[in-house]
Amino acid sequence: MGLMEILTIALLVCFFALMIGVGVFTRSRATDVNGFVLGGRSVGPWLTAFAFGTSYFSAVIFVGYAGQFGWNFGLASTWAGLGNAFIGSLLAWNILGRRTRVMTQHYDAKTMPDFFGKRFHSKGLKVAASLIVFIFLIPYTASLYNGLSSLFGLVFDIPYWVVISIMAVLTGVYVIFGGYMATAINDFIQGIIMLFGIAAVIVSVVLQNGGLVESMKSLSQVEGDAGWAGAYSSFLGPDPLALLFVVILTSLGTWGLPQMVGKFYAIKSEKDIHKGTVISTFFAIVVAGGCYFLGGFGRLYADKVTMNPATGKPLFDTIIPTMLSNLHPAIIAIVIVLVLSASMSTLSSLVLTSSSTFTLDVIKPASKKEMSDKKQVFIMRLFIVFFIAVSAVIAVVKDSIPGLTFIAQMMGVSWGALAGAFLAPFFYSLYSKKITKTATAVCFVWGCAIAIVQMVISLGKIPVDGWGPFFGYIFKSSINSGVVAMVGGLIIVPIVSLFTKKPDASIVDDAFSSYEKTITVKAKDSLGDEEETEESEAATEA
């Protein structure tokens, strides 16, 4: 056994022991629904910010997207990372954070479908949202295993299904034990690993190519598919419009994803929102910006990357592993733990979201008998096992049967479907009294319809070049159609609301009364921390 294997095994054993230990330690916080799903709504800024960031960035970004977009756009792909930081994190926290926390607490809503049902007094919307989450979140969960086999192949000669099984079982153990709090604490630990791991990998790869200046110089001489030297080291890359679509999809999409927005439900106080905003943005700059910056040097390894004989393009999941293959054993060991951290943190968030949504929004309403908190938590734990098992099986089947394109396409469109369906109605519901139930339903249909059309086109390999410049470009890829689904929803919801039955005034007033509750200032400006309230009372007495 070589040095690389010994270092990797040692780090993995310590890592797995720590993850399980946290799950056991936090089990007392997961005895009721509020504690299991939201950590008692008392999670601090560091844990919430890291939970947000690690749920955002999985192994897909490090292995898949960094390789793919770095190859296609060069160093300009770093714009996607900066977009993730300033649109997907900074703006998301500032625009959604406080209002989400206030209104969901007012309704005692624990999931996004529950929020829609209570905000519009509609069981239909609640059930529809639950089904959308169930259908599209599972394939998205299965995609988290992508790239693990190529990275583990650098160190171990073990079957892919073994890697998936180990990751799935260990993630399930700590989530089942400790619920949201275990997930949040482990996300923090995993986030620290990701921060230092990304920094170490970037420095190592750049030094491997003679330093930053030499690496940039070498990249500037590459023509590649662009046909002109300097394209992959230029400010906007060889295809600025395609890059813009990538930035929008990967950045704005977080505003409508249930597992991302759910982090705002649990944050503890007003000051924690401000701290969390800064921490989350910094995390995204380092992790997302670093991943895409690293991928931008992928063209320097063009002679070593595994190519797809059918398309003549590289297998994108092999680009980053190829870049890392000659690094020091200690760096490779850190990368293995880094990728596992990224995958397990996102997997835990997704399965917790799926299980809580299905239990609270489907099983509980359908039950004829009253369900105790203990029974609800037990059912959620069963569904965590179920969702993890299904995602693992899907990933194994997809890998063993390459021709099974349905699963791959489902993975590709799931992000766009969820964000396209939920982003606009959720955002407008927090800010506008005029948004109608019908407009929300139409947006649900719109987001899912775009995703399904894209999947049919991709599965059937239907040529879209003859559809005209507009529709041809929209359905050229799931990235483009996902952006259209999200942006289109932001236009459709207010327009449909103008021409459909207005919501009952009492329903709207009840929703927005949560913002008007006076603490020291209105709740839409402050959550009203206990410390602030005590200061206000002291000032009044004086």
Secondary structure string (H, E, C) spanning 165-232: HHHHHHHHHHHHHHHHHHHHHHHHHHHHHHHHHHHHHHHHHHHHCCCHHHHHHHHHCCCHHHCCCCHH
Q: E strands, 340-415, where?
A: none
Residues forming a β-bridge with 511: none
pLDDT higher than 60, residue 525: no
In contact, 157 and 388? CB cutoff 8 Å? no
Question: What is the dihedral sign for C-alpha 112, 114, 118, 120?
Answer: positive
pLDDT higher than 50, residue 520: yes
User: pLDDT digits over 135-193, tens only?
Assistant: 888 888 887 776 666 677 766 777 878 888 888 898 889 899 888 888 888 888 888 98
Give the position of tokens 């649900």: 444
pLDDT of residue 485: 94
In contact, 402 and 433? CB cutoff 8 Å? no
CATH class of 3-27+44-400: mainly alpha
Rounded to two decimals, the pTM is 0.87
Q: Give the highest mean pLDDT range of 126-135, 169-178, 335-344, 420-429.
A: 420-429
User: pLDDT digits over 292-314, tens only?
Assistant: 999 999 999 988 888 877 777 88
Give the position of tokens 């991928």: 295
Q: SS3 of 2, please?
A: coil
Nearest Cα to 181, choosing from 300, 34, 70, 325?
34
Angle at 316 between CA 328 and CA 133, to 5 degrees: 110
Which range is least confidently modeled, 67-76, 155-164, 233-242, 402-411? 402-411
Measure the N-to-C terminal CA separation of the chain; round to a whole number of Å: 73
pLDDT of residue 150: 66
Residue type present at position 477: S
pLDDT higher than 50, residue 532: no
Q: Across residues 407-423, what is the average pLDDT?
A: 82
Nearest Cα to 300, choosing from 381, 384, 222?
222
Nearest Cα to 322, choosing from 150, 72, 70, 76?
150
In contact, 217 and 300? CB cutoff 8 Å? no
Whole-angstrom distance, CA of residue 542 vs CA of residue 535: 11
pLDDT of residue 346: 83
pLDDT higher than 50, residue 510: yes
In contact, 43 and 267? CB cutoff 8 Å? yes
Tokens of 339: 């990728």
Confidence of residue 194 (pLDDT cuts 50, 70, 90): confident
- Per-residue b or e along 134-143, where b marks 16 or more CB atoms closer than 10 Å to that residue's CB: bebbbbbbbb
Residue spans per domain, the chain? 3-27+44-400
pLDDT higher than 70, residue 315: yes
Q: Across residues 501-518, what is the average pLDDT?
A: 83
**In terms of pLDDT, which residue wins out, 38 or 93?**
93
- Cα 425 to chain centroid distance, Å, stands at 19
pLDDT higher than 50, residue 541: no
Calculate the alpha carbon distances from 345 to 44, 230, 500 in Å: 18, 37, 41
Q: SS3 of 314, please?
A: strand
pLDDT of residue 535: 44
Confidence of residue 118 (pLDDT cuts 50, 70, 90): very high
Three-class DSSP labels, 111-140? CHHHHHHHHCCCHHHHHHHHHHHHHHHHHH
Whole-angstrom distance, CA of residue 311 vs CA of residue 72: 14
Residue type present at position 62: F
Confidence of residue 529 (pLDDT cuts 50, 70, 90): low
pLDDT higher than 60, residue 452: yes
